[in-house]
Amino acid sequence: MSNKEIVPTDQSDQKRKAITLAIGGVAGALIGLAGAYMLVQNAERQNEPIEISTGEGVKLAVLIVSLLRSIATLHD
C-alpha cells in the first residue's frame, strides 16, 4: 500500500489554503507598511521624532489581537 492510499489529500483544498495564506500575508504586509508610512508622515509634519509610548503600544496590541479574534471567528 502506498502512502497516497492511506492518507488521501484534496489538492484543490491545499491550493485554496496556500492562496489564502499568500493573500493574507501580502495584505498584512501592505497594511503594516501603510501604518508605518502614516506614522512617519505624521511625525514629519509635526517636526517631531517618531515615538510610540508604552501605552500607545499596548493599545495597538489590544486592537490587533481583537481584530485577529474577529477574523478567526468569521465562520462560526
Q: What is the pLDDT of residues 4-55, one digit of tens each?
A: 555 556 788 889 999 999 999 999 999 999 999 999 999 999 999 999 999 9
Q: Does residue 3 lie within any of the structural domains? A: no
* 50 within 8 A of 39, measured Cβ to Cβ: yes
Q: Does residue 6 lie within any of the structural domains? A: no
Domain count, the chain: 1
What range does the domain containing 36 cover? Answer: 11-72
Could you tell me the pTM of the whole model?
A: 0.70
Q: Does residue 1 lie within any of the structural domains? A: no
- The span from the CA of 19 to the CA of 13, in Å, is 10
C-alpha cell at 2: 502506498
Q: Which residues of 6-28 are buried (b: 16+ CB within 10 A; e: fewer)?
A: eeeeeeeeeeeeeeeeeeeeeee
Residue 55's pLDDT is 97
- List pLDDT tens digits, range 52-69: 999 999 999 999 999 999
Sign of the four-CA dihedral 6, 2, 5, 21 = positive
